Structure 1
Amino acid sequence: MIRNYIKIAFRNLLKNKAYSSINILGLSVGMAVAILIGLWIYDELSYDKYHTNYDRLAQVYQNQTFSGTTGTSAAIPVPLAGELRTKYGDDFKSLALASWNFEHILAFEDKKFTKEGMFTEPELPKMLSLKMIQGTLDGLKDPSSILITQSLAETLFGDTDPINKIIKLDNKTTLKVTGVYEDLPYNSTLHSTSFLIPWEKYLTLQNWVKESQTQWNNNSFQLFVQIADKADFGKINSKIKNVVQSHRAKGEDDKPVAFLHPMSQWHLYSEFKNGINIGGRIQFVWLFGIIGTFVLLLACINFMNLSTARSEKRAKEVGIRKAIGSVRQQLIGQFLSESLVIAGIAFLVGVFLVLCTLPWFNTLADKEMSILWTNPVFWIACLTFTAFTGLISGSYPAFYLSSFQPVKVLKGTFKAGRLASLPRKVLVVVQFTVSVSLIIGTIIVFRQIQYAKNRPIGYDREGLITVMMNTPELYGHYDVLRSDLIKTGAVENMSESSSPTTGVWSNQIGFDWEGKDPNMLALFGTIAVTHDYGKTVGWQFKEGRDFSREYATDSVGFVFNEAAVKYAGIKDPVGKTVRFNDKKYTIIGIIKDMVMESPFDPIKPTIFLLDYGWANVITVKMKAGINSKDALAKVEAVFKKHNPGSPFDFKFVDKEYEQKFRAEERIGTLASFFASLAIFISCLGLFGLASFMAEQRTKEIGIRKVLGASVVNLWQLLSKDFVTLVIISFLIAAPIAYFTMSQWLEKYEYRSEISWWVFILSGVGAMVITLLTVSFQAIKAALANPVKSLRSE
């Protein structure tokens, strides 16, 4: 019987090629989207699961409160590690201090590369369960050792055995390779970490790090922990929350609260607001999961609509089957088997579409996903999902068609009834509600991105490049290096600072001024600069002046940004005195706010001061109108002259600034991609329904033409029902989209408003798309020769 069902199903597919193609194409696109989104969600949910101890690992975070606002950070003081080991050792299996992941220059013979890596205590490789290709996990116990990734080993040494090879770090010290570990997967938080160096080496290379071992107020490091097998994160948090605060001196009342942030939450639950975890990327997992479900649902709706719309075509078949003894269950089985066959074919086509689009989708989503061919869970999920799709798609047609009464059908008195088309109309409304909602959401996402991009940034980023001062050769030669760069004719200016223009790397307390609230614990972003920094980046002064070599007193001068003046509440700030770490400084100038961090957040109150010894970033301003390739060649020659042992690695400031929009742009692009597919699937359904309606009303159209109806009249006749449905869809979609996108915008401090024209544009766009889709069949039917349609009459 099943064989007979399948044979009939294929005959029906071949008999109705146009409708079969629309069904299969719609379902396959819906399935392809569902598979792509499923792979994306799987990749997100499996983040960091490469590490065996995934569910026991955590990073120590702190909540700190300044002027009533609580901020959350992974930055901790070094002594905290010793305190946790000593007093809470039973709760932890391992702890490892670490630096941040920074770029360093690695050199072997004539090969020199800039790679990201960190200094860490020897326990970290075991905690992360790194898979060693060569060497052991204990390789960092030697203070002059280094563990490197397999890809870095191949880059530096080729096919040569890397073990015991000597690498030079930042032209400062040499390290011996004691191990090579497998590269961490792309969906790992530490994926970009190409090497690990012992913490002991860090202490010998940086005096400030050595001094920090007793400083409870220097939050400049990371601390990774692996909790004991029977320990509980919540209980440990309650024990350690006041550890840092108990060691703070009087007056440092930032109320630090230490807690563990589990590795299982690093990726999906990384956002905090006022000390409370508010989620993060998990919202996108839910969002795209919902979108994938709806896109697949749209494809199923197409199948239902076209199947029920053609019910009269198969009414006699149902009548004859029932007349010769078929029971309803057999008919239901027949129609469900047909939908399962279509779903199976659509699945195969969908997998082919995924194979074709996956490389592009990976680039779009910034992923390295692949189809999980060898994963049984993937195939079980796909087959279950295909069967479910087939059953859902075919359920309504099966139960609807099998309910026809054979007597009425065979006598020719069967009429579908006025309400027979109601379910189809409801489903069309659902389709376009989803599509219009996605259109509105996509427009609002891109408006928010553009709104932030149009924000005044307070400096001129065009022609700016930054070079990290990783090697000792670049320190202490500021005037000579700047002079040589300007002499090339390609450089307008050069300066140094302790942070790039696209970040604020240091935040300080300890500021005091006249009129300051004694209960206010002020936190300012603090950036050390050289004399030419303002001219290099194009500071825009509101009051006062820039740092100048003509004033020796500028060594104790401050330049405030607008946000710092507002935060401090200082009236007529220029010339006022501010104490910082028991030293008096004078405010010499006020600049317009510079967007140095997230363009979606408020500007951080920031203070700039002169300090050549603190600077570690070189900023170069290229001359306008000069070919960038030629200019960079001249700049590179100067850096090679002063720093011959290092590669010339630089970054364009404008490109670094654009990186700040990547997450939002990626979400917007993905949303627009899915919205386009949703519209495409909806239009496929409309095309099929319009075609069926035109076919069903062929004789009516012929009679109307004979009686004088114009093409426009007939086009209006066939289009008005669909227009009404789209209007209803818009009225439902608009409030849903408004509420959803309002909630999304709430997470941004600097955000655009939701304009009324977005909804009008989306509604008109949906209407135009609908008319274009329906008009082809409507006009085709209206132009048909009425003689042919009325011949049988």
Structure 2
Amino acid sequence: MLVNYFKTTLRAIKKDTRHFALNLAGFSIGLAAAIMVALFGAYELSFDKQHPNAERVYRVHTDYRAWGLQLIAASDSQHALNMKSHAQVEDVMMLISTDNLAYSAEPMTLDVSVAGEQVRLSKVYLATANLPEFINMTVLHGDLDMALSRPGLLAISRAEALRLFGSVNAVGKTLSYQRGQYEIAAVFADLPDNTHFVFDTLAALPKATKMPFIGYVYMRLSEGADAALIAKQMTETMREQSTGRRKLRALELSRLSELHFNSSGPFEMKQGGSRLVMQVCIALTILLLVIASVNFINLNIAGAAKRAKEVGVRKALGASKTQLITQFLTESLFIVLIAALVALALVEMMIPYANQLLERSLSLSFSPLFLVAVMAVVVLIGVISGLYPALFIASFSAKRVLSGDLQRGKTAIWVRKLTLGLQGALSVALIVAAAVVYTQMALINDLPVGYAKNDRLIIKNLPAEALYQEAEPRVLRTLRALDGVAQVTQSDTLLTNDMTSELFLVFPNGERLEGTQPTIATGFHAVETLGLELIAGRDFSPQFASDWIQTSDDNIRSFSVLLSESLAKQAGYDDPSVLIGQTLSSHSGRARATVVGIVRDIKIGSARQQQLPVLLTTGDINVAIGTLVIKLQPDVNKALVMRQAGQIIRDELAMPEVEISLIEDDYQRAHINEFRMQQLVLLFSTLSIVLTCMGILGLASFATIRRQKEVAVRKVLGASRISIVTILSKEFITIVGIGGLLAMPVSYWVMNTWLNNFNERIEQAGWVYAAATLGVLAITWLTVACLAFKAASTRPSLILRYE
């Protein structure tokens, strides 16, 4: 019996190849998208799941939002150590980047010599000896425990061993630096991509330090422990040991297995993913599969008349309703199975492009679990899509089937109309979503941030001591002399990231603003180099020696500042220019700042974050790492200047490797998840419209064939081609239009909810919804009109010659 079903399926496909091609294309596209999104979703959800007790390990975050700053991934190690004795805390592990080591211990030398060649160690972190109990690592050579227990020893990744020594087994080999040498004690396998840890080099964390570490603290809690309660207790303990403004800080715990979706703040080791992007992908894939299934249902119902005699003969010969249903379900499953094979081939071809777009390492693995999942989806979609057409065709009596009267069933007509309207609604909704997302991302890209993004280079992760030891260090002067460079200044803040410094200031009118004022420590020519808009006063200038920070004998710091416009207004100055020349002081009285200028507001970091007004100082640095910002001359060869600037940094600061980029590229990176979603919505919207057109093409084809005698009679009676096209397309236009109208309120609510996530957002325009609906109607009309015009051009005698 199954062989007969299979033969009948092949015969039906051969008889109507257009029907088969449309269904195959629709299901192939939908299933390919589903498989790709499934791979992406599984990859995203796999982050940090491989580590021991990942569900019970938490990272300690510090909440500085009461200061006007952000929730950051780092925390003070002392407060975590205080909780080590807590009954529900099993163990505490600390990991610190060498960038922050200068706060609490002797800086670690990263520039080393290998066989006489200068290199820089990559991604160096110091860790406590219990790190292997928190992170799943494979040791290839040596002893990792020893490397994390004794100073002067290093554990390096496989990639780092190959880079430094050209072989994986580097145990016992040494790296020389100015004051001594490091010995390689262990080599571990490269960390997988699906983890937020990024280190290539590990060293033991010093036990004796000047002050607590500021780094990453991980805690393993006991079974059933209440993480929120423990965080509250940690906060209370921290505040009891703190004074002044430090009492405003709070601690939070974030589960290790969920960090990938909760790691968008400052000081993250790796930029996290977006749960929203994943959810949008899943939702859009479901919509594509719905459209493909609707196409299948519509085309099968519309084409039922072509199978009328076959079904009638089978019923007359004794075929049962169950056998007919099984036959048509077999056809449906066969088509979906072929589509799944085509989809797998499409996915294999698309994976490189998907990895480039998503910045992931997706791969197609034909594991038994994967194949079972694909087959389950094939059966589910095949049954759902084929069940109603099978029931519809098998439900008629032999007499009615043989008469070819299938198209007159009211239920079938309503199902066809409802599904066509659903397709129209989904297409309008996706076009609206694409337009709103695109417009919002255009707003973010063109958002007035208060500084210049174009023609600006930034050199990152430079030693702040070398940049701020004097107002104009030699490295600045050398860079400024480069062809194509207009100006250079220092900065302790990545403009596209988050604020790292702050001041508590008292204004001359006695106003003490709540919280802190985020601060950027710059150098001379800050307004010109950063592209700020000066409202009043002047830029920091070497012509004014008092601009640069000076420290008196009684340890009071004096420097000049630039205030943002809204900061001055918050302090009660409606006319900010009156502050020019006046002196502000810190709450402690240990700092005095002379206002030399007022600038337009500067927006640091992401558009998703609410930004407080900032101020700029000259040389008042309190971090270990700084940057250099370079203003380029117009139409300069940026790549050439980047190479030359990198070489100057290597020579002047003895840094083998230099991180340099364009600020406009960094800004794009800060909003990568939003731009990624923009591309995904645009892609899925295009695919949905293509599938909808394919469905309408099939329906219009059947409708035209069904009404070809009517068309011929109308032509004989003098109807024009345009009138015939109008008559045939009217039903499609009406149904799709109603679907589009019903989609509008739902689309508005969904997109408004998404827009509320942004601090700066667009307002949805009514014309977008009107344009989307008209666009779908136009595409529908063109699709139907092409077939209708062809039918209207056929000579009536060819159609009516047997009547």
Normalising to structure 1: TM-score of the pair?
0.90
**Residue 297 and residue 503 in structure 1: after superposition, are their counterparts in 2 closer, same or farther (change >3 A)?**
closer
Measured in 2, the distance between the counterparts of 1:669 and 1:19 equals 31
Specify the code of the residue in structure 2 equivalent to 1:240: M
Question: Which residues of 2 match residues 394-409 of structure 1 at below 5 A?
Answer: 394-409=386-401
**Shift of residue 441, structure 1, vs aligned partner:** 0.5
Matches within 5 A, 1:528-543: 528-543=521-536
The answer on whether the counterparts of 2:479 and 2:485 sit within 8 Å (CA) in structure 1 is yes
- Name the amino acid aligned to 1:565: A
- Kindly tell me: are residues 735 and 645 of structure 1, through their superposed partners in 2, closer, same or farther at Cα, counting changes over 3 Å? closer
Alignment counterpart, residue 341 of structure 1, candidates 334, 338, 351? 334
Kept in 1, the 8 Å contact 2:489–2:529? The answer is: yes
Task: Give the deviation of 1:270 after TM superposition.
Answer: 4.9
Query: Which residues of structure 2 form unaligned runs of 5+?
Result: 101-108, 266-271, 550-558
Mapped to 2, the partners of 1:636 and 1:324 lie a distance apart of: 85
> What is the Cα deviation at residue 633 of structure 1?
4.8
Aligned to 1:217: none
Partners of 1:332 and 1:402 within 8 A in 2: yes
Map 1:262-277 onto structure 2 (within 5 A). 262-270=255-263
Q: How does 1:351-370 map to 2 (within 5 A)?
A: 351-370=344-363
Aligned to 2:204: 198
Letter in 1 for 2:567: A
Q: Secondary structure at the match of 1:616?
A: strand
Residue 423 of structure 2 corresponds to which residue in structure 1? 431
Question: Paired residue for 2:711, among 686, 698, 701?
Answer: 701
Q: Distance in 2 between matches of 1:261 and 1:640?
A: 39
Aligned partner of 1:261: which letter? S
CA distance in 2, matches of 1:235, 1:10: 65
Contact 2:533 2:599 in 1 (8 A): yes
SS at match of 1:721: helix
Correspondence for 1:388 among 380, 383, 401: 380
Deviation at 1:104, TM superposition (A): 6.3
- 2:585 corresponds to: 579
- Could you tell me how far apart the structure 1 residues matched to 2:215 and 2:706 are? 73
Deviates more, 1:341-350 or 1:311-320: 311-320
Percent of aligned pairs with the same residue? 28
Residue in structure 2 matching 1:464, options 449, 456, 459 = 456
Measure, in 1, the Cα distance between the counterparts of 2:609 and 2:168. 49
- Superposition pairs of residues 79-228 of structure 1, within 5 angstroms: 79-85=78-84, 87-88=85-86, 91-99=89-97, 108-109=114-115, 110=117, 112=119, 115-138=122-145, 139-159=147-167, 161-167=169-175, 174-190=181-197, 192-200=198-206, 210-213=209-212, 220-228=214-222
Q: Does 1:449 align with 2:441?
A: yes
Q: RMSD over aligned Cα, in angstroms?
A: 2.8
| Cα distance in 2 between the residues matched to 1:638 and 1:74 | 33
Match of 1:275 in 2: none
Distance 1:781 1:161 in 2: 76
One-letter code of the match for 2:507? Answer: W
Distance change (3 Å), C-alpha of 1:365 and 1:636: closer
Cα displacement (A) at 1:124: 2.5
Residue number in structure 1 paired with 2:494: 500
After TM superposition, the structure 1 stretch with the greater mean CA deviation from structure 2, 748-757 or 152-161, is 152-161
- Aligned partner of 2:286 in structure 1 is 293
Aligned length: 768
| Counterpart residue identity of residue 55, structure 1 | E
With over 3 angstroms needed to count, the CA separation of the structure-2 counterparts of 1:286 and 1:604, relative to structure 1, is: same
In structure 2, distance between residues paired with 1:116 and 1:261: 23
**Equivalences for residues 552-631 of structure 1 within 5 A:** 552-554=545-547, 555=549, 556-571=559-574, 572-580=578-586, 581-583=588-590, 584-611=592-619, 616-631=626-641
SS in 1 for 2:260: coil
Query: What is the DSSP-based 3-state SS (H/G/I as helix, E as strand, rest coil) of the residue aligned with 2:212?
Result: helix
Q: Distance in 2 between matches of 1:234 and 1:599?
A: 29
Show the counterpart of 1:206: none
Matched residue, 1:727:
737
**Cα deviation per residue 1:220-255 (whole Å; 9 max; x = unaligned)?**
43212222356443453353231211111145441x
Secondary structure in structure 1 of the residue aligned to 2:421: helix
2:662 is the alignment partner of 1:652: yes
Q: Match of 2:680?
A: 670
Which 10-residue stretch deviates more, 463-472 or 26-35? Answer: 463-472
Q: Unmatched 5+ residue regions in structure 1? A: 204-209, 215-219, 273-278
Paired letter, 2:483: G
* Alpha-carbon distance in structure 2 between the residues aligned to 1:754 and 1:709: 44
Distance 2:454 2:274 in 1: 32
Contact conserved, 1:151 with 1:183, CA < 8 A, in 2?
yes
Change (3 A) 1:768 1:663: same
Task: Return the offset for 1:89.
Answer: 6.1
Cα distance 1:768–1:166, how it changes in 2: closer, same or farther (>3 A)? farther
Structure 2 distance, partners of 1:362, 1:436, is 29
Are 2:736 and 1:742 equivalent residues in the alignment?
A: no
- Which amino acid in the other structure matches residue 598 of structure 1? S
Alignment partner of 1:75 is 2:67: no
Post-superposition Cα deviations, 1:646-680, rounded to whole Å, max 9, x if no partner, equal 23442222221222232111001011111111111
Measure, in 2, the Cα distance between the counterparts of 1:670 and 1:607: 38
Letter in 2 for 1:334: Q
Structure 1 residues 379 and 696, CA gap change in structure 2 (3 angstroms): same
Distance, in Å, in 1 between the alignment partners of 2:418 and 2:58 is 50
Change (3 A) 1:149 1:568: farther
The farther-off stretch of 231-240 and 137-146 is: 231-240
Give yes or no for contact 1:446–1:668 (8 Å, CA) kept in 2.
yes
Cα distance in 1, alignment partners of residues 155 and 605 from structure 2: 32
Distance in 2 of aligned mates of 1:489 and 1:745: 44
